[in-house]
């Protein structure tokens, strides 16, 4: 793992070079999470009424529920994998992730959104995507 433990708060922080190296992998993971999220939402929207006396319908419901839970497991397993790397998943629909970064002794977040070529923004810990600023405002090199 390319992250560096931040001894001040027990968390993880990244350098810009580490983020840029990790970004292609993170992008693939975020895209997979988005697909899984859409599939789960579709299955959640299905309302099935079955006759509990009909074995075929009961078996269909069991298979349906099994697939739903399998997709949920894959989603949360992948989300946990991302978080364990130190990457903060902010918004799955928008594909927004943050990378903790220490700037002049203060923890901030380098912010990336799916579709962006590279990390070009940052924001304070308390702020979200809407409060992000261009990375040129920070002296990261």
Number of domains in the chain: 1
Rounded CA separation 39/44 (Å): 9
pLDDT digits (tens, 9 = 90+) for 13-52: 999 999 999 999 999 999 999 999 999 999 999 888 888 8
Q: How confident is the model at residue 139 (pLDDT cuts 50, 70, 90)?
A: low
- Residue-range definition of the domain harbouring residue 82: 4-137
Q: Are 90 and 98 in contact (CB under 8 A)?
A: yes
The overall pTM is greater than 0.85: no
């Amino acid at each position: 793992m390319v992250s560096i433990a931040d001894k001040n708060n027990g968390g993880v922080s990244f350098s810009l070079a580490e983020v840029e190296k990790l970004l292609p992998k993170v992008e693939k993971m975020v895209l997979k999470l988005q697909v899984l999220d859409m599939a789960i939402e579709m299955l959640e929207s299905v309302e099935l009424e079955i006759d509990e006396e009909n074995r075929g319908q009961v078996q269909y419901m069991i298979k349906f529920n099994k697939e739903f839970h399998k997709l949920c497991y894959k989603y949360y397993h992948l989300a946990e994998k991302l978080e364990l790397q130190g990457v903060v998943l902010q918004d799955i629909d928008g594909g927004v992730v943050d990378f903790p970064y220490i700037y002049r002794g203060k923890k901030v977040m380098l912010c990336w959104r799916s579709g962006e070529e590279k990390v070009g923004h940052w924001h304070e810990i308390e702020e979200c995507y809407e409060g992000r600023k261009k990375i040129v405002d920070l002296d990261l090199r």
